[in-house]
Structure 1
Amino acid sequence: CLHTFMDAMRFFVSGEGTKVAVALREEAYNTICDLLVMFCNQLNSNPNPLLHRLVYEPDQDMQDMLNKFIQDYVFFDEDEEDHDEHSKIEELHKRRNFLASYCKLIVYNMIPTKSAADVFKHYVRYYNDYGDIIKTTLGKARDINKTNCALTMQLSLNKLYNELVAEKGNNRTVDDITPIKELAKRFALSFGLDAVKNREAITALHRAGILFAITPPDGEELDPTGPPPNLPYLEILLEFTNKLLRQDKKVVLTFLDVKLPAGMPSSRGEDWQPLLLYRNSLLHGETDQVPVTSKRAYTRRKKDQMI
């Protein structure tokens, strides 16, 4: 039975608290990926109804397990002294195959596009090793659905930002956010020059980014006099502003003003600078002026140093 066999492979990949040999875990991962392709939902279009019963769709637990596998076995920094040059090449080839198998599930629409967020977030850091695979996956995902792809880019940036906050807390600096901005620039360039073709996707990305920036983390204690804790994220989102059409800048600006009433505190404190920078980028070429004197309830009671 296919499902019984897949359950066995799932056990070997996950380990489930037992010690499973690395080679067996890797082989089980490859087997699952191959069988998901072979028994995908495209069988439903086959004229033979008996084949329809063979369709196997991965549940969320399996998707999470496959993602964890590539995070553990693909995206890690290898000790340079552990292997000779030949072994390093072989290991890299093996890891590239692991990643390609996972990305194939995405581009063939066997798992949701958003599953690529944890792949896309490594685009810049591991560009030399996997840049071509990730770039191809980005292109294919965009072909499937431009808006979903843009929102997946946005999700990957959110993940990196949250990881930075978890690691550095309130001690993070401008330099800490630079790698995330570099990734945002790379994503923005991938949209090309046709702003009309991508307008819906880019606008959706900005809306999602604004919501992330103004929404406090779960359990975060807020201060009614300061900016949202994630407001510095707007400096990352700013990298996509030049991809908006002029009329769409107005749409995004209106959305921003509804969610976070326009303007800065009269002091124009440093904590509010990301909003000023982002809003000015949306106003570029317009005659509107940046309003002032607006205090909004959104940040921590401690006025911590922000980026």
Structure 2
Amino acid sequence: MTDAEALSSLDRINRQILEAKERSFLSPLATLSGDSLGRLYPEEEHSFRTAFQRDRDRLIHSTAFRRLEYKTQVFVNREGDYYRTRLTHTLEVVQIARSIARALALNEDLAEAMALAHDLGHTPFGHTVEEILDGLMEGENGFEHNAQGLRCVDLLEAPYSQFPGLNLTYEVRSIFTKKRSLAELRRLGFASPASERFDSGPPKPILEAQVVDLADSVAYNSHDIDDGIKSGLLNPDQLCEVDLWRKIWEPLKGEASGVRRRAAVRELINRQVTDLVAASFERMKNFDPSALGKTTSDEYPALGRIERIIDFHPEMRKEETELKRFLHKYLY
């Protein structure tokens, strides 16, 4: 069935129509579900869901995803139901990633699936416990949450009798391998059959992975500030040491404290996302799609090392880095 035939067949939506819409409407730099490198264990295609939509659904129904509810980044779960958990953080990353992907005509379904998966390998009780666990496991090559996330989806999840894990596509799995080479995965003991097949092959750069990586930063920068101010650990006036926050906070003077905090956090997200979309669109517009494979390396197939196409303008990158340094000094 040609794209034209699929798009004209509107009696019901099927996978071919969805794939044809992707080819017709998405950017030449987007990752198309119909061009996926596939799964380790072959499966029959679904009649009305694309490969990335199936991955999204598998992740939502997974045990590892449900367990995010009781994992936290900064505040322990018992301190109150206001503060973010890994689950609420993940949902916020999903929303931001989808908004960015849609604005840039990238694959929204792929960005959503990657965002749902990106924190699955984290331990409870935040980064402190991960550092302790890494030390305790020194004789076993340590602990690393991306490698553990890969282990979750490739080996530990067991919803199917035909194969281990969730049997996700190469593209969604790459959210875990973005910072780890196959050699490192082997060293950490987390190289699975899927790792051996997919992650040793030629790199396939994925802009949606860059979207999720930045959406993650926007979400935790903004929401850690919200939780930090709400808890009393951060003083919003002290935060004015950071240029980005000061430019947002000072014009809101006169508002009630809670209203002011929420408005400032909302504007912080909006400014970062708006800048990111504008800067990334400029780079994408001037980028030759045939050169995409040259912007990455065998070590980091998803994110790319030589050039980041999805990123802030230099001034916003500088301000965002300043904000991160402040949070690491006074909150984490």
Q: Give TM-score, length-normalised by structure 2.
A: 0.26
Q: Give TM-score, length-normalised by structure 1.
A: 0.28
- Higher relative contact order (Cα pairs below 8 Å, separated by 6+ residues): 2
Larger Rg: 1 or 2? 1
